[in-house]
Structure 1
Amino acid sequence: MVESIVEFFKNLPPKACATCGNDIEEQHECYSNTCESCTMV
């Protein structure tokens, strides 16, 4: 059975930063793959 798009995005796991591995505090479907701390460096 196909779930609603809202449920799909709610159930995505947190994104991890590609540099340090910490969870990213942005929406899971965003294009960024680095956290704010690593982006500033």
Structure 2
Amino acid sequence: MLQNVLEFFRNLPAKSCKECGEPISEQHECYGNTCDSCLDPR
């Protein structure tokens, strides 16, 4: 059973920004879904 849970988390797709679609370089299980560039456009 533990093997199946670990395999599930290993196979999660990379998280992408909801604004620009670029991959987010952070943990997949966090709640944020916007990259730093879109959060602070300058």
TM-score by length of 1: 0.77
Matches within 5 A, 1:3-18: 3-4=4-5, 6-18=6-18
User: CA-atom RMSD, angstroms?
Assistant: 1.8
Structure 2 stretches lacking a partner, 5+ long? none
1:5-38 deviations in whole A, cap 9, x for unaligned? x322111000110000000001111100101111
Residue-pair matches, total: 40
Moved over 2 A (4+): none
Residue identity over aligned pairs, in percent, reads: 57
Whichever residue aligns with residue 40 of structure 1, its letter is D
Instruction: Please give the alpha-carbon distance, in whole angstroms, between the structure 2 residues aligned to 1:36 and 1:15.
Output: 13
Higher CA-based Rg: 2
- TM-score normalised per structure 2: 0.75
For the residues of structure 1 that align with 2:39 and 2:10, how far apart are their CA atoms? 25
